[in-house]
Each structure stands twice: as C-alpha cells, then as structure tokens.
Structure 1
Amino acid sequence: MNILAAILFLIILYSLGSALYYMYKDSGDSTRMVKSLSIRIGVSILLFVIMMAYSWFNM
C-alpha cells in the first residue's frame, strides 16, 4: 500500500509540474494545462478512495 501511495503521489506531483510548465510555455493558447490539472484531480481522488478503502477493510 505504501508503494502504491508513493507512486500515485509522484504522478500527482509530475502532473502539477507539467501544468506549470504548460502554463508558461503555451501562454494560454492550448488546453494542455487544463488536461494536466484534470489528471491531477482524478489521480488525487483515486488516491483518496484507495486510502479510504484500505482503512475501511484493514480495521
């Protein structure tokens, strides 16, 4: 579980960093930043759900 959480956290950080890069590089001309932030939100929700399920079943 710890390895999965760490991997998902690294994916979240990578997505956040790529959104920052696209914000400066594209200057608002494309939707790559929005897609990157959407991926970050989705992975964050997935990580939260996995942690809640792990907590629930590991009682």
Structure 2
Amino acid sequence: MKFVVILFLLLIVASLGSALFFLMRDKGSGTRTVKALTLRVGLSLALFLMLMGGFASGLLTTNL
C-alpha cells in the first residue's frame, strides 16, 4: 500500500510538471495544460479516496 501511495504522489508531481511545461511552451493557447491539471486533480482525488478507504478498512494505520 505504501508503494501505491508513493507512486500516486510521483504521478501527481509529474502531472504538475507537465502542466507547467505545456503552459510555458504553448503560451496559454492550447488545452494540454488544462488536461494535465485535470489529470492531477483526478489523481489527487483518487489518492485521497484510497487513503480514506485504507484507514477505514484497517489496511493503513497510524504510528501513534
């Protein structure tokens, strides 16, 4: 489960980086930036729901 969380975080950062690249390259005239940011939001939402499900099912626990 930890591997999946780290993978999602890396994908989110990569999507954010690609959005910045498309913004600089297209000068705001294309839709690639919006698509990359939409993908980032979708990945973030999926990660949040996965973490909430993991805590609810007991698959993830805190170390307190």
User: Which ranges of structure 1 fall in alignment gaps of 5 or more residues?
Assistant: none
Using the aligned pairs only, state the percent identity: 37
What does residue 20 of structure 1 align with? 20
Trace 1:1-59 onto structure 2 (pairs within 5 A). 1-58=1-58
TM-score where L is the length of structure 1 = 0.97
- Provide runs of 4+ in structure 1 moved above 3 Å: none
Question: Number of paired residues?
Answer: 59
TM-score where L is the length of structure 2 = 0.90
Structure of higher RCO (CA pairs closer than 8 Å, 6+ residues apart): 1
CA RMSD, 1 decimal: 1.0
Q: Which has the higher helix share?
A: 1
User: Which ranges of structure 2 fall in alignment gaps of 5 or more residues?
Assistant: none
